Structure 1
Amino acid sequence: MRREVLGSSEFWNEWVDFEYDSIAHRKKIDAMPGGDANYRPQYLFELVKSYFQLILRRYSRGDSKSDLVQHFGGLLDTWEESEKLGRNVWTAEQARTRHAWTVNLDHYIVCFWLTGLALTLNIPDEQWQRLVALMGNDGEDALLDRVIASRQSDRKIGTTLCFPNVYQRLLDAVDALPEQQPKALRVFLDHWFVSLKNAGHPSFPPSHRTPYWYTFGQINPEGGAYFGYWCVEAVAVAKAFGIDDSLCLDHPNYPGDLLMDGRSPRYPDAVAAAQPSAPARGWLRRLLGK
């Protein structure tokens, strides 16, 4: 059964297959001679996004946690090739706006998601070291650096948050007394989605200050872009700091099965069709602050 309340098993099967086909097609196109060498680094990073979106689509569909880790190898290979080629293409300013957590909200979130997936799926040490090297930004963020340091003891820890309007509540949960951490984690989760809107750096145009995937579940979700609204950041913190997440397990955005399969709600097809049911619309309105 599905973990994601929206959609049906048929929907998730269709779009998981589509993502597999998209990855294969992109790799085939990339192997062809010619093409725009200046665009190839970005083309490959779009393929990186397809890999982690595939992981989240499969999680939404209800696939076993143990089946998700297989996609990390291809993701890392592709990201490394993108970075290698990009060094000959990007200007210093382009490289900064692409990679710096302090300015690029999308990239910060992707790195947080990949860190959370890596920790909860227990990727091998060799892959972990490659991931840390690709993410970079050592000492740039007071929260994500600490999450990474839970497996990388020599990680330099930042002194400020890159995006405090979104993540101060999550840092508060980390710093809370043990008995207060479960409630504080839930408070962050309840505010997470709404707080992301327009949370990006003011140097970016307004259209790039909200995560690229933010409207995927609201505008034409049946079109296939939607891969779930999963707050991997919360489960990453629960894993890294041993926080009791039991208060979060019923939250529609909390991917609790990443820690241990069988804890998160499941939805048979009779409960919800491809369009949101009335209860689903209710939590979606609350999620959007409407």
Structure 2
Amino acid sequence: MLSLLSKKEWEARHREPRQDHVDYEDVISDILDGFEIVATNLSNQELMAKASKGDIMTAARSRAFDANDALVFSYSGGHTIEELASFLPTVLEYWEAYASLHVEFHESEESGGHKVPHLDLYDSDYWKALQLVCFAILLGHTGLLGRIMDLLVYENDDQDALLEALVAPYLPGRPEATIYTRQLPYRKTRKIFAAKPAARPALMAQYLDEWYDASRREPYHDRHKSSIFPGYWSLEAAAMTFILDIDDSSYRDKPFYPADLVDYARQHSQRSSADETTDSGETGKRRPNVPAGEPCPETGWWFTPAQPNSRRYFKQGETMPDVGGDYGATFWQWSSDQSAPSL
């Protein structure tokens, strides 16, 4: 379970420059208190016997929505990624508890025969769905994706093209989706998926440059003007960068890009069970990241997130250098683009 950061911890670690400590403290405190209240109420058999199925379902739904908010507020506030990773399975448990109660409500007379999705992919619920998928990929919990997608299938007539593209490496055999249920900015990702590896860094940089203005119809847009601001993060850009193994050195410092989530995924998550394909069409094995000071395990082009535009050619056995700077430890990663740079 998450714990509240002290003001000193928050001041030293918060990632979102627009977040206010008072807002962070109030929101996380209220959410954590709410978790305890809902858990106590749901375990009170006498109370449950008196409550309507609609009230019970609504309480569970609020807890699930709050759990997503807790992830985003906590990431913005500077919680460690390890803490977020340990919390994500609990978030999914809250969603599954809500889903079960939601189905019970639909099967009761209270619903009047009217059924709605657990998360409607055509309205603002989409942002919650995208958070679940992206956090599962970035926090090393790709094994949860099947359960997440089961939640999203319920009563949604259409599945979303971006969500399906994100889970495709982990859940092969799912029907292809062509509809972008929320359109912008997400429709713009199609070009990145379709591009050759060498073109993807520039396309992703452009996507991030346009992300906020293109998101004007999304529920998070302009939230910094309110007193409850979770933070601006293009989680889909991070998940795509990891899945497609894009060299992010040219855009990792751009606003809205959660670079440390990608770094964590590259150390703790799996990209897919499929072989990688280089720009030349060559199918290759997955290479481990190499810390500075170690010999290069394979001749080719490598890059490090610790330095922009760092892609360079190493021969097998050559010592991988430390680039220094404020980033931290230097790890070299095999580049999906194995072509020589154009002059």
What's the TM-score, normalizing by structure 1?
A: 0.73
State which structure, 1 or 2, has the greater radius of gyration over its C-alpha atoms: 2
8 Å CA contact 2:139–2:261 kept in 1: the answer is: yes
Separation of aligned partners in 2, 1:18 and 1:241: 38
Higher helix share: 1
Partner of residue 173, structure 2: 154
1:131 paired with 2:138, answer no
Tell whether the 8 Å contact from 1:230 to 1:255 is kept in structure 2 after alignment. Answer: yes
Q: In the alignment, does 2:208 pair up with 1:192? A: no
| Counterpart in the other structure of 1:26 | 38
Q: What are the residue-to-residue correspondences of 1:155-234 with 2, within 5 Å?
A: 155-198=174-217, 210-211=218-219, 213-219=220-226, 221=227, 225-234=228-237
Distance (whole Å) between structure 1 residues aligned to residue 82 and residue 95 of structure 2: 22
SS of the residue corresponding to residue 248 of structure 1 reads: coil
CA offset at residue 13 of structure 1? 4.9
Quote the offset at 1:184 in angstroms: 1.1
Structure 2 unaligned segments of length 5 or more: list them. 1-12, 265-304, 307-343
Higher RCO by CA contacts (8 Å cutoff, separation 6 or greater): 1
Q: CA deviation at 1:121?
A: 0.7
C-alpha displacement of 1:149: 0.9
Is the CA contact 1:141–1:157 (under 8 Å) kept in the aligned structure 2?
no
Q: Deviations over 1:221-261 (max 9, x none)?
A: 3xxx2221111111111122212222332222111111125
| 1:80 Cα deviation after fit | 1.4
Question: How far did residue 37 of structure 1 move?
Answer: 1.9
Q: Using the alignment, how far apart are the partners of 1:253 and 1:60 within structure 2? A: 11
Contact residue 138 and residue 155 of structure 1 kept, 8 A: no
1:5/1:99 CA distance change after superposition, 3 Å: closer
Name the CA distance, whole Å, in 1 between partners of 2:192 and 2:256. 17
Query: Once the 2 structures are TM-superposed, how far is the Cα of residue 162 of structure 1 from its aligned partner?
Result: 2.0
Alpha carbons of structure 1 residues 10 and 93: separation in structure 2 relative to 1, 3 Å: closer
Q: Measured at CA, do residues 138 and 182 of structure 1 come closer, stay the same or move farther in structure 2, by a change above 3 Å?
A: farther
Large movers: runs of 4+ above 6 Å: none
Q: Is the Cα–Cα contact under 8 Å of residues 208 and 237 in structure 2 kept in the other structure?
A: yes
**Structure 2 CA distance for aligned equivalents of residues 94 and 59 of structure 1:** 34
8 Å Cα contact 1:217/1:228 also seen in 2: yes
Q: Which runs of 5+ in 1 are unaligned?
A: 199-209, 265-290
Q: Aligned letter for 2:38?
A: R
1:33-72 correspondence runs (5 A)? 33=47, 34-72=50-88
One-letter amino acid of the structure 1 residue matched with residue 151 of structure 2: L
Contact 1:112 1:144 (C-alpha < 8 Å) held by counterparts = yes
Whole-Å separation in 1 of the counterparts to 2:184 and 2:24: 33
Q: Which has the higher strand share?
A: 2
- Tell me by how many angstroms 1:36 deviates: 3.3
Percentage identity across paired residues of the two chains:
21
Distance 1:78 1:187, change over 3 A: same
Offset from partner CA, 1:176-228 (integer Å, 9 cap, x none): 22122112112222222222323xxxxxxxxxxx42x4343212x3xxx2221
> 2-side partners of 1:110 and 1:52: how far apart?
7
**Counterpart code for 1:113:** Q
> What is the identity, as a one-letter code, of the residue corresponding to 2:215?
L
* Distance in 2 (alpha carbons) for counterparts of 1:11 and 1:100: 28
Q: Is the 8 A contact 1:69 1:121 kept in 2?
A: yes
Indicate if the aligned counterparts of 1:150 and 1:241 stay in contact, CA closer than 8 A. no
**Do the aligned partners of 2:72 and 2:230 also contact (CA within 8 Å) in 1?**
yes
CA RMSD for the aligned pairs?
Answer: 2.6
